[in-house]
């Protein structure tokens, strides 16, 4: 068994244990393997080990990786999870199955306009800046419902839920606080009539806290693929 396959099994075990601890079914939480900065061959290995959903943060790297794995296109669900500039929406709209990082209506509108007619609607999540960090993308919690409603009205998009990248914190109790904020927004949006089904939250360091607070999809990279090398000049800083 490859190292990636072993690490995938370990992460799946963590997710299952966290779900049980929270009184949830293991199948309630999906794993998104974050493959940014790692080669297409690593994705191929993870796919062979049963992983089907992969996340990318950089537009060109992601598009190139999808093309390199074209033989697996029907078997892989590609998620764009990084900050997205309005001048880079077209390749994302054409290549990906999901976008998690919508933080303003302009981005959503461009994705809707540029989604090719022959493809199914693009699954989208609104990103919320739950910790109020100036360095993080995301809509303010108080403005989330308004943006969700506007995105939900657009054609060629399927609104699925919310995404967040909370500030780092020590200990599960502290980590749960921002995830609880996100879950409250999710619950309020559903109560307002929006048919959301996805809470994209939790990474390698805080997946247990995220699952405890209702995450339905966790985004795990380093615990599967190892530590990243950001020194490549080809990586975009978007």
Q: What is the pLDDT of residues 152-193, one digit of tens each?
A: 999 999 999 999 999 889 999 999 999 999 999 999 999 999
Identify the CATH assignment for 3-225 out of 1.10.150.20, 3.20.20.10, 1.20.81.30, 3.90.550.10. 3.20.20.10
Contacts from 30-33 at CB under 8 Å and sequence distance 24+? 30/216, 30/217, 30/218, 31/217, 31/218, 31/220, 32/79, 32/81, 32/200, 32/217, 32/218, 32/219, 32/220, 33/8, 33/220, 33/221, 33/224, 33/225
Tell me the pLDDT band of 238, cut-offs 50, 70 and 90: very low
Do 143 and 130 contact (CB within 8 A), yes or no? Answer: no
Tell me the pLDDT band of 228, cut-offs 50, 70 and 90: confident
Residue 108 confidence (pLDDT) above 60: yes
- For residues 123-135, give the mean pLDDT: 90
SS3 category, 107: helix
Tell me the pLDDT band of 134, cut-offs 50, 70 and 90: confident
Do 144 and 125 contact (CB within 8 A), yes or no? Answer: no
First to last CA, the chain: 35
Residue 124 confidence (pLDDT) above 80: yes
Residue 233 confidence (pLDDT) above 50: no
> How high is the pLDDT of residue 230?
66
């Amino acid at each position: 068994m490859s190292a990636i396959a072993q690490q995938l099994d370990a992460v799946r075990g963590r997710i299952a244990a966290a779900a049980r601890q929270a009184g949830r079914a293991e199948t309630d939480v999906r794993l998104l393997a974050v493959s940014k900065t790692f080669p297409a061959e690593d994705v191929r290995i993870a796919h062979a080990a049963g992983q089907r959903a992969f996340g990318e943060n950089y537009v060109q790297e992601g598009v190139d990786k999808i093309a390199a794995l074209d033989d697996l296109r029907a078997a892989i669900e590609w998620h764009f999870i990084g900050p997205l500039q309005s001048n880079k929406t077209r390749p994302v709209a054409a290549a990906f199955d999901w976008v998690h990082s919508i933080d303003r209506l302009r981005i959503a509108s461009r994705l809707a306009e540029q989604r090719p007619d022959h493809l199914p609607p693009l699954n989208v999540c609104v990103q919320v800046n739950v910790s109020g960090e100036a360095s993080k993308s995301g809509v303010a919690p108080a403005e989330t419902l308004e943006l969700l409603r506007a995105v939900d009205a657009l054609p060629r998009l399927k609104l699925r839920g919310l995404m967040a990248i909370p500030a780092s914190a020590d200990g599960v109790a502290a980590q749960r606080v921002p995830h609880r904020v996100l879950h409250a927004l999710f619950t309020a949006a559903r109560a307002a009539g929006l048919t959301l089904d996805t809470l994209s939250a939790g990474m390698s360091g805080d997946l247990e806290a995220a699952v405890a607070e209702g995450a339905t999809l966790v985004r795990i990279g380093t615990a599967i693929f190892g530590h990243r090398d950001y020194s490549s000049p080809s990586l975009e800083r978007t």
